[in-house]
Structure 1
Amino acid sequence: MKKSIFGLILLVLFTTNTFAQHTAELEIISLSKQKWEWMADKNVDKLTPLFDDKSVFVHMGGSWGKAQEINVIKSGGIHYKKADVHEVSVSMIGNTAILLNRITLLAVVGGNEVTNPFIVTEVYVKVNDNWKLGSLSFTKLMTPGQ
């Protein structure tokens, strides 16, 4: 009888943990989708609290922190017009979520409209019950179908 109760408790704990992880993964996917929309809309009022103060951004042309990324978006230095997301995956490590997107990004950079295929790595950390973006990195794919 004790083994049955112990087994049942383990099953409930495992199921609860699996459900919580799945819920967090869906929350991150939704947040990432919103982030792409806010970036396209140049909505720095929504992006500013999402980006952690220590966040880093890695682009084809360099890397920088939160303040410069917000300024680049606000000024239109890079206008993320449309991110077509083809694949998404999320890995959870404690209170950290690592999201990978395979996207085709339509952007305006330096006044020129460009389309590039990327794998984008987004790292989110849960801070005081809120997800904060800690890192956003673009890796250009050599061919669109990769």
Structure 2
Amino acid sequence: MKKLIIGLALIIATVNLSFSQELKAEQEIINISKEKWQWMADKNVDELAKLFDEESKFVHMSGTWKKDRELEIIKTGSIWYKNADVRDVAVEIFGKTAILWNRITLIAVVRGNEVSNEFTVTEIYQKQEDDWKLLDLTFSSVRDTHEIEH
């Protein structure tokens, strides 16, 4: 009986630790995403360059490109991500991969014109050594009634 109780206690402790680690990783991804939006607004390409994986892709309404072009677009202000009003966030962790969905209203300046668009943005991150790296950022145009199912 004593072995059974000890065994059950170990199982419960393991499940709690695993759940706690997943919640910590989810919060870490949410925080990284928030920082990313601020860095984009501030045109802080130095921090973004560290976050973006060398092979990362960026899917916009006008095309898809890689890290270097995205950083150049941000640096030159061709697209200025002026403000991302994040209203909903969902995260799922799959081993060393995290997928985050943001429901946002994006105020941006695109080729000199200020625009406002409703998006669900999908961000894919991968844990590489001690850091999370952004692999993909995809903007999906949606209606203002669109909701992310949790």
- When normalised by structure 1's length, the TM-score is 0.98
In structure 1, the residue matched to 2:78 is 77
In structure 2, the residue matched to 1:19 is 20
What 5-or-longer segments of structure 2 have no aligned partner?
A: none
CA RMSD of aligned residues (A): 0.6
Q: Distance in 2 between matches of 1:113 and 1:145?
A: 22
Matches within 5 A, 1:3-82: 3-82=4-83
Secondary structure at the aligned position of 1:114 is classed as strand
- When normalised by structure 2's length, the TM-score is 0.95
Q: Distance in 1 between matches of 2:4 and 2:118?
A: 53
Q: Distance in 1 between matches of 2:130 and 2:9?
A: 29
What 5-or-longer segments of structure 1 have no aligned partner?
A: none
In structure 1, the residue matched to 2:145 is 145
In structure 2, the residue matched to 1:87 is 88
The percentage of aligned residue pairs carrying the same residue is 50
* Corresponding pairs, count: 145
Q: Distance in 2 between matches of 1:73 and 1:53?
A: 16
In structure 2, the residue matched to 1:106 is 107
Amino acid at match of 2:13: V
Q: Distance in 1 between matches of 2:62 and 2:145?
A: 23
